[in-house]
Amino acid sequence: MSTSFRTDQEFFLDPQRCIGCHACEMACAECETNGQLPMIHVDYVDRFLSPQTSVQICMHCEDPVCARVCPAVAIEKDEFGIVHSANTARCIACSNCVNACPFGVPRKIEPMDLMMKCNMCYDRTSAGKKPMCATVCPSGALFYGTREEMARRRPNSSPVNTFKFGRETVKTKVNIMMPKGETELVVYE
């Protein structure tokens, strides 16, 4: 597959910067691996109360739950830590990954009987480019670059890649921007 994947660049996510414009979603669909289907998720958390939106790309877990619960061994993580979309030959569309992913990322594409998910724009990142969503995001909710660049831009925030789901700790390739000094995001106790 790839020859020019930039291992010095990382993904940084900051949901509180999201303005819910869906530019990322439109751009994601343009990614050639996606067949005009967006893999990123942008939703209102509760529009009745607030215009807050959640924005979620694949976090590319170190030990991906989606891959572990896949009965068909269709989900694989590559040498760069990218967890890829389901192998099209193997996926039997059982939705285990869709319902087990702690971040709610994989999508089942109903008529195709296939799971597809964010592969960090592999067509672009494998060619040394930035993912579509992070390139177009107008508000910095999605950022792709080096750790140093991020530290310069966001001196008072810390990138965190440890998530606590009760007793479960999930480590990811993708970072989320937290208040300075934080080392984990507790999703629930």
Partner 1 sequence: MATLPVPVENLIARFGPHLNFPRAEGIPGRDEPDAVVKTHCCFCGMQCGIKLLVKDDKVVGFEPWEEFPFNEGRLCPKGVQRYMQNEHPDRLLTPLIRVGGKGFEKIGWDGAMERVVSEIQRIQNAHGPDAFAMLSGVSLTNEKSYLVGKFARVALKTRNLDYNGRLCMVSAGAGNKKAFGLDRGSNNYSDLAHAEVVMICGTNVSETFPTLTHWIWQARDNGGKLIVVDPRLTPIARTADLHLPIRPGRDSALYGAILHQLIKHDWLDHAFIANHTTDFEKAKEAVKDYDLAWAERTTGIAADKIELAARWWGPAKTSFLLHARGIEHQSKGVENVLGCINLVLATGRIGKPYCGYATITGQGNGQGGREHGHKCDQLPGNRDIENPEHRKYIAGVWGIEEKDLPGKGLTAYEIMEAAHRGEIKGLLSICFNPVVSLPNNNMIREALEKLEFYVAIDFFLNETARHADIILPGSLHEEEEGTVTTAEGRVVRIRKAVNPPSEARSDTSILLELADRLGAGERFSFHSSEEIFNELRVASKGGTADYFGITYKKIEDTMGVFWPCPSEDHPGTPRLWEDRKFKTPDGRAHFHGVPYREPAEVTDSEYPVILTTGRVVSQYLSGTQTRRIGKLVKQYAEPLLEIHPALAARLDIHERELVRVSTRRGTAEFPAQLVETIREDTVFVPYHWPGRKSVNQLTSGHLDPISKIPEFKVCACRLEPTGRKAPSPDEAQAWASP
Partner 2 sequence: MISTLNRLALTLATLATLGLVAAIYLGSRNLGNFDPALVAYLFACIFACFGVVYRYSVWLQRPPTWRYFARGWQLFFSGRAIVYGWEFVKNFFVNFLGQRFIQKRGRDLGRGHLLMAWGCILAFGVTFPLVFGWIHFGLKPGGIDTYEIYTFGFKTMEFPLHTWIATLIFNALNWSAFLVIAGVMLLIRRRLTHAGQIAVQTFEGDWLPLLLLLAISLTGLGISLDYKFMDGKAHQFMAITHAITVILFLVWMPFGKFFHIIQRPAQLGIAIYRKAGEEGPQAVCPHTGQAFTSQLQVGDLKDVTTQLGFDFRRSDGGSHLDYSPQGKRALLATAHLKARQKAGSYFG
Could you give the CA distance from residue 46 to residue 54 in angstroms, rounded to a whole number? Answer: 10
Partner whose binding site includes residue 27, from partner 2, partner 1, none (CB under 5 to 8 Å by kind): partner 1
Looking at 3, 79, 111, 155, which residue binds partner 1 (CB under 8 A)?
A: 155
- Annotate 129-185 with DSSP letters as a single string: PPPHHHHH-TTSSEEEEEHHHHHHH-TTEEEEEEEEETTEEEEEEEEEEEETT---E
- Count of residues engaged in binding partner 2, rule: CB under 8 A: 73
Examine residue 101 and tell whether it contacts partner 2 (CB under 8 A).
yes
Residue 25 or residue 184: which is nearer to partner 1 going by CB? 25
Partner whose binding site includes residue 105, from partner 1, partner 2, none (CB under 5 to 8 Å by kind): partner 2
Could you give the CA distance from residue 131 to residue 124 in angstroms, rounded to a whole number? Answer: 6
Partner whose binding site includes residue 73, from partner 2, partner 1, none (CB under 5 to 8 Å by kind): partner 2
Range 100-139, binding partner 1 (CB under 8 A): 130, 132, 135-139
Partner whose binding site includes residue 29, from partner 2, partner 1, none (CB under 5 to 8 Å by kind): partner 1
Is residue 85 a contact partner of residue 115, using CB atoms and an 8 Å limit? yes
- Contact segment (CB under 8 A) with partner 1 among 10-18, 55-63, 162-170, 180-188 equals 10-18
> Nearest-CA neighbor of 66 among 94, 33, 34, 106?
106
Mask for 28-67, x = binds partner 2 (CB under 8 A): ---xxxxx-----x-x-xx-----xxxxx--------x--
Is residue 83 a contact partner of residue 66, using CB atoms and an 8 Å limit? yes
Partner whose binding site includes residue 93, from partner 2, partner 1, none (CB under 5 to 8 Å by kind): partner 2
Distances in whole angstroms, Cα of residue 182 to Cα of each of 41, 73, 80, 145: 25, 35, 26, 20
CA 149 to centroid of chain Cα atoms? 20
